[in-house]
Structure 1
């Protein structure tokens, strides 16, 4: 009788047109509860669909009776907090009438009508949203696993590529060495013999053929010098014997003597580098000096710096020559610059070029230093 009385009291206003429209057309499940007893006073169609009970059954039940036994205690706790605070958050996982787990969330608030306290609860069925979220999280986990697998494979491929690249560079250096030896054993020896023969012919012949013989001798000597320069470019034997820094000092000294350009080399206690890296740095350095000598007539100073830090070796080569407009230089063969870039990239390095008319040129190379005990599978 007490429950029927509470319902009848609330019925005095539930036939109000505005109340009925708002209550029945709400997209959320809405329920009115007696705050003291937990008795369901009224509910809309959405709440019937959410719980699986009909309206005539629901108004005979207490709110926690619409939940599973495992969640009845949670429902009572939420009701108690809502009464104490005047509002509260709702969240349940219920097993529906067809055995489907339904997720619901919403808000409850207290109000007083005719001197009696009630609780209005608006609940939203968040089952689909949570399922989509769970599916998304599962897809993210799957994609994360796939990404990790891909990254692992890429790392292995990168190591293999690094190994193949180094083997290619070593093979290239071996071939250069072989060609240099062939030049030494065949061409230079023939040129030396030619010089000796020309000298003998010069001494034994009369003055009428001195000039032609002298021309032949000079050409043979020039060819011998150029051949030795080519041999040095192909295979810098002193690099293996003395190391990179000593070779750079030697070449800078030769350039100073020949051209009068002032040079300066700075390095911070060099470590022993992989021979491939040393060779790469030397060849870029050597090509840079050739470019300065050929194309920068106004250069009076060259600064070279090598630094070893944070797993990288960095080489900077700077001159105060005429410089040039980078936009006007062909990307295909800009005086050996593209070759330098390719050499750096073959050992996973970076190549950077800075220049502008009247402000000189700066070449920067940065190459990672890999540990010598790295295992390639």
Structure 2
């Protein structure tokens, strides 16, 4: 196999020093064939950083002839911005040679002869010889993979944008429905109840059973009227618009405690009196969904904490219960609509969503939303 020495003279590179004498010839030929058969570009570099062996895939990938590559410093196969840092990386590898994969969490690039760049995946392995350590580099062009990843991200972004638009449209639809229910049905039911009360006064006092039935119907009408009001409040919390997030969450936690007989302790500190409307709505909906999740799944829950506080970077919401908990790994595989909804609402306002749970120890949901203090006004006192 052809190579070059430091002076640039072409010579035959032998790897026989890495093998017992009796196996040299066969081992060298086997190594050469394996190198040429590799699906990736294979570049072998000596301790001075000069290329001593390449395979056919290397020529194809970089656009050089084999004789151009032999003796070239390996840094020439990478863009200028990577060359100086690579000198230090190469020295550290030779000081402690071991098999390793480069670029975890990074994007590395190769540089072709024509000056074009392309993303690469690189693995290194040391080869000890009598002449010193050689470094074997397996280089793979990952342009197609990166394009697929970019296409996937674009698709995810489009789907997320669509989901956020659908949530906003849903909120507007619910707002209109809530207004219609609040302004229409209760008044009509109240009018019917008034007519029943008038009718009751006109009934003969002797018609005791009839009077009892009319009173019962009147109570049912009043109860139904209240149910409609509660349903309307669930569709769109008018209190959130008129009084702000803190009173709205206090009312929501109180209503949940009454309905499900589970104490909910709500506390807040340094929350601005007026948050951006979209942030207030997102946090309110997340609390709603979080409490409903507890009601649906945490059968042994005896207490819930809802904590809202302002940090240096934004607003942090925590929903914590002492219920039965669950296995987070299995939950990832079967993430329900409630968790998806909460996560997407947090994302829609630029926030982060996380959930931790331990079997028989409860669950904690945490939402962090970045907030410029110029977006909000004076803080509410801590409670």
Counterparts of 1:146-165 in structure 2, within 5 Å, are none
Higher Rg of the two aligned structures: 1
Q: 276, 279, 287: which is aligned to 2:278?
A: 276
Number of the residue aligned with 1:213: 214
Q: Does the C-alpha gap of structure 1 residues 153 and 292 become closer, same or farther in structure 2, counting only changes over 3 Å? A: closer
CA contact 1:188–1:224 (8 Å) conserved in 2: yes
Name the structure 1 match of 2:228: 227
1:315 is displaced (CA, Å) by 1.2
Contact persistence 2:318–2:366 (CA under 8 A)? yes
CA displacement, residues 27-56 of structure 1 (integer Å, 9 cap, x when unaligned) = 65799xxxxxxxxxxxx997xxxxxxxxxx
Counterpart-to-counterpart distance in 2, 1:131 and 1:197: 97
CA gap 1:203/1:347 in 2 versus in 1, 3 angstroms: same
Question: Secondary structure in 1 aligned to 2:353?
Answer: strand
The CA distance in 1 between the partners of 2:299 and 2:223, in whole Å, is 23
Residues 307-322 of structure 1: matches in 2 within 5 Å? 307-309=309-311, 311-322=313-324
What is the match of residue 363 of structure 2? 361
Mapping of residues 50-69 of structure 1, within 5 Å: none
Report the structure, 1 or 2, having the larger helix content.
1
Q: For 2:371 and 2:151, locate their aligned partners in 1 and report how far apart those are by CA, in whole Å.
A: 22
TM-aligned CA distance change 1:287 to 1:169, over 3 Å: closer
Q: Verify: 1:142 aligned to 2:117, yes or no.
A: yes
Structure 1 residue 188 and structure 2 residue 186: aligned?
yes
CA contact (8 A) 1:304 1:318 kept: yes
Q: CA RMSD in A?
A: 5.0
In structure 2, relative to structure 1, the CA distance for the partners of 1:150 and 1:226 (3 Å cut) is same
Q: How many Å apart are 1:127 and its aligned residue?
A: 2.9
After TM superposition, the structure 1 = structure 2 runs for residues 246-261 of structure 1, keeping only pairs within 5 Å, are: 246-254=247-255, 259=261, 261=263
Distance (whole Å) between structure 2 residues aligned to residue 156 and residue 328 of structure 1: 26
Instruction: After TM superposition, list the pairs within 5 Å mapping 1:276-315 onto structure 2.
Output: 276-292=278-294, 299-309=301-311, 311-315=313-317
User: What displacement does 1:316 show?
Assistant: 0.8
Given that 2:111 and 2:118 are in contact with CA atoms closer than 8 Å, whether structure 1 keeps it comes out as no
Distance 1:207 1:353, change over 3 A: farther
1:179–1:234 contact (8 Å) kept in structure 2:
yes
Structure 1 residue aligned with 2:176: 178
Change (3 A) 1:286 1:364: same
2:331 & 2:148 partners in 1: Cα distance? 41
How much has 1:184 moved relative to structure 2?
A: 1.9
CA distance in 2, matches of 1:167, 1:181: 21
Equivalent runs, 1:16-165 vs 2, <5 Å:
127-129=68-70, 130=72, 133-134=76-77, 136-138=110-112, 142-143=117-118
Distance 1:160 1:372 in 2: 30
Residue 343 of structure 1 corresponds to: 345
Evaluate the alpha carbon distance shift between residue 354 and residue 30 of structure 1 in structure 2; reply closer, same or farther with a 3 A threshold. Answer: closer
Shift of 1:227: 1.0
Separation of aligned partners in 2, 1:251 and 1:30 = 77
Alignment partner, residue 37 of structure 1: none
Secondary structure of residue in 2 paired with 1:273? coil
- SS of 1:175's equivalent in the other structure is helix
